[in-house]
Amino acid sequence: MVKKVSNEFVDTLVKGGWKLVDAEAKIDQITKAINSKFPKATPEFVQSTLKASVNKLLRSHIEQMEGVCVGYDVKQDSNSFAKRKAYEVYEQDPVRAAQDKFVVTDVDGKVVFEKDEKGNLKRDNKGNTVPLAADNREFIDPDTKKMKNTKWGKALGEVIQRTAWFIMDVNGKSKFVRAFGNFDVKLGYQYTLYGSMSKTGNITIPVTGPGVKAGKLLDDVDYWKVFNDTAQNDDLAVPLGESVDILKNKPIVTKGFVTTVRQAGTRMMIVINDDSMPEGMVCFVADEGLNEEAEALSAGNEIVLIGRIGESVDKTDGKIRRNITTFGFASNPESDKIASAVRELDSELYS
């Protein structure tokens, strides 16, 4: 039985881009797992299994990147949109849904329906049975059609992940970078991300790698500076007054002064304004984990935020209003001092 961490495999991971401390921890973890699952294994078996495991990790093209977390969305099933689409197609045309493989069918071509843990058929809020959504992508690459999708027509599983935003150095320039994966983060912390960056600049964090490792928490001054400085020149940044012209669901970085902070259901609502939009823009935090940071804001605080454009119907007049689903924000420490000082003078202002 092999008990100690193998320096050979630690070195292999380090050469592959891993930090030494993380490489040692990973090899130690794999070694302990092998010893636990295969207690009678020979040293040769353990070494061979370690080698195969390390090669598998390295084949996943994991890169090591550094960034400061400035925002995150709620965790959800990444297949939820495809599942809703499948159900909509089935409601409109069950025959087409089966033929085009939007839903799963059995060997006889009959639609398969979802069941709960007890084996009972699931039903929607109308009492209808729910078809089992399928992966209807015949090809992984629909443009070239060279890679056949082996999961075509098979049930869509549940893939839980979230979107988070980091400020990173990309080719010598500070940029807002989006990352996808099943991980937990907090605003203002430096993180080491282990994943792969696409040609479009998005990062995918695989479940097989080290994931996301937290470093130090930036103080309020440094956090504001890195967020605000990056927002000055990033392509996502727009003045608050121009935010109403951004398409729905598009990411946005903007600034404003807090006028209102209050609870709206399970999430906090922040209203910000500036000279370009004196009437203000309503912002809802994307995840309940952001509630505490939002509650700490006060009227008069200047904030810079990152989010996406949303829409809602005003119940008073039926008109569609723009809002921002807010992934994260930073508050200007200097404006915090001024807002606090003004609150101290309230008794003088209104006496």
3-state per-residue secondary structure call for 114-137: CECCCCCECECCCCCECECEEECC
Query: Are residues 72 and 199 both part of a single domain?
Result: yes
Which residues, 6 or more positions from 158, have their beta carbon under 8 angstroms from its beta carbon?
Answer: 77, 79
| Same-domain pairing of 88 and 192 | no
So what's the pLDDT on residue 2?
A: 45
What CATH number is attached to the domain comprising 319?
A: 2.40.50.140
How far apart, in whole angstroms, are the C-alpha atoms of residue 216 and residue 336?
A: 23
Burial 79-118 (b: 16+ CB within 10 A, else e): beebbeebbebbeeeeeebbeebbbbbeeeeebeebeeee
Considering the domain architecture, whether residues 186 and 72 belong to the same structural domain is answered as: yes
Q: Is residue 351 situated within a structural domain? A: no
Q: Same structural domain for residues 273 and 318?
A: yes
C-alpha angle 64-69-71 in degrees, rounded to nearest 5: 130
Whether residues 55 and 187 fall in one domain? no
Do 167 and 85 share a structural domain?
Answer: no
- pLDDT for res 347: 61
Closest to 131 in 3D by CA, of 159, 92, 91, 79: 91
Per-residue model confidence (pLDDT) at position 97: 94
Please tell me the distance from the alpha carbon of residue 270 to that of residue 223, in angstroms, as a whole number.
20
Note whether residue 337 is domain-resident: yes
| Residue 227 maps to a domain | no
Same domain, 238 and 330: yes
Whether residue 203 is contained in a domain is answered as yes
Residues facing residue 256 across a β-bridge: 303
Task: Render pLDDT for 272-321 as a digit per residue (tens, 0 to 9).
Answer: 999 999 999 999 999 999 999 999 998 999 999 999 999 988 888 888 88
pLDDT at 206: 84
Instruction: Give the CATH number of the domain where residue 196 resides.
Output: 2.40.50
Give the total number of structural domains in the chain.
4
Q: Is residue 240 domain-shared with residue 203, that is, in the same domain?
A: no
What is d(CA 238, CA 272) in angstroms, rounded to the nearest whole number?
Answer: 14
The pTM of this model reads 0.74
Spatial distance between the Cα atoms of 66 and 192, rounded to a whole number of angstroms: 5
Q: Which residues contact 335 (CB under 8 A, 6 or more apart)?
A: 257, 300, 301, 302
Residue 30 lies in domain: 7-59
Q: Residue 242 has what pLDDT?
A: 95
Q: What are phi and psi of 303, to 5 degrees?
A: -130, 150
Residue 145 and residue 181 in one domain: no
Q: 225 lies in a domain?
A: no
Identify whether 168 is part of a domain.
yes
Is there a single domain that holds both residue 321 and residue 281?
yes
Extended beta strands in 171-228, E state: 173-181, 189-197, 203-204, 212-217
Using CA atoms, how far apart are residues 289 and 134, in angstroms rounded to an integer? 32
Asked if 173 and 142 sit in the same domain, the reply is no
Q: Which residues of the chain have pLDDT under 70?
A: 1-6, 17, 59-61, 208, 337-351
**Is residue 94 in some structural domain?**
yes
Looking at the structure, tell me whether residues 154 and 187 fall in a common domain.
no
